[in-house]
Amino acid sequence: MRIKVLGCYGTEFLRFKSSGFLIDRSVMLDAGSICSTLTLDEQREIQEILITHSHLDHIKDIFFLLNNLFEEKRQPITVYSTAEILQLLKQHFINGIICPDFTSIPQGDHHVLGFETIKEGEFYPLSQGLSIRAEKVDHNIAAVGYIIRCDHGHIVYTGDTGPTEHIWKVCNSLENLLALFIECSFPNEQQELASLSGHLTPQTMAQELKKLQERDCPVFVFHMKPQYLKTIEADIKALGDERISILAQGEEIDL
């Protein structure tokens, strides 16, 4: 499994892009960054998009991707998430007002977008031999993390979350945990803001990692607010946890 970091930040600044991870060239994990980082030919390879929640920094490039491709005759791009999250997406974003309803255009049999509702706790097959499983996390809106299974193990992606419990219990039941991708949005000095907005700081992230039982897999940190990046990096370094790496835009990870 190869994961390319298209964007890994909690907002957008010059040279800092919001969350979007490309798996094996065809699967997007969140859709905050696609079109400003991929060529048109690379965009054409995308078949599936997994959405963790409906906040704009995780969904906005669905519009730009479909806007680039909707005139082409191709198989629809499938957006996966739970019923509640997809309903929010349809009602507030891909609704024909904010964003065209790409499930109905172009007309005929060549719609460029399809939605696939998945249930928490069940694996669903994707392309490239991957399977996905959604698990609830605790954000300030309906949100899930994803377990992604390949032939030789699993990765876990928390999406946006504050302190949570369920997904760690699931992690502890998995065999061959290859890597954990965990959010860390604010520095410790902004703990009150992180708690109010349903996010982690280095100190609360460290408490979450203690919920993993005897795990030595790499831990990749994303969703940092760029204006606090240096302070977040210092706070994480002070933890002294050698498993932890802070992701960088454009990085490619082979697992």
Low-confidence ranges of the chain (pLDDT < 50): none
Q: Phi and psi of 173, rounded to 5°?
A: -95, -5
Check: CB of residue 48 under 8 Å from CB of residue 20.
no
Where does 54-211 show beta strands of DSSP type E?
77-81, 113-117, 124-125, 131-136, 144-150, 153-157, 177-183
> Which pair of tokens denotes residue 102?
């790409």
Q: How far is Cα 149 from Cα 123, in angstroms, rounded to an integer? A: 9
Q: Which of 120, 170, 167, 175 is nearest to 150 (CA)?
A: 175
Lateral strand order in the sheet of 131-136: 124-125, 131-136, 144-150, 153-157, 177-183, 219-222, 244-246
Check: CB of residue 186 under 8 Å from CB of residue 227.
no
Check: CB of residue 228 under 8 Å from CB of residue 221.
no
**Structure pTM?**
0.96
* Structural domains counted in the chain: 1
Q: How far is Cα 19 from Cα 188, in angstroms, rounded to an integer? A: 21
One-letter amino acid of 184: C
The CATH number of the domain where 62 resides is what? Answer: 3.60.15.10
Q: Which residues contact 207 (CB under 8 A, 6 or more apart)?
A: 163
Q: Radius of gyration over alpha carbons of the chain, in Å?
A: 17
Range of the domain at 27: 2-254
Q: How far is Cα 191 from Cα 129, in angstroms, rounded to an integer? A: 40
Check: CB of residue 75 under 8 Å from CB of residue 183.
no
Check: CB of residue 131 under 8 Å from CB of residue 125.
yes
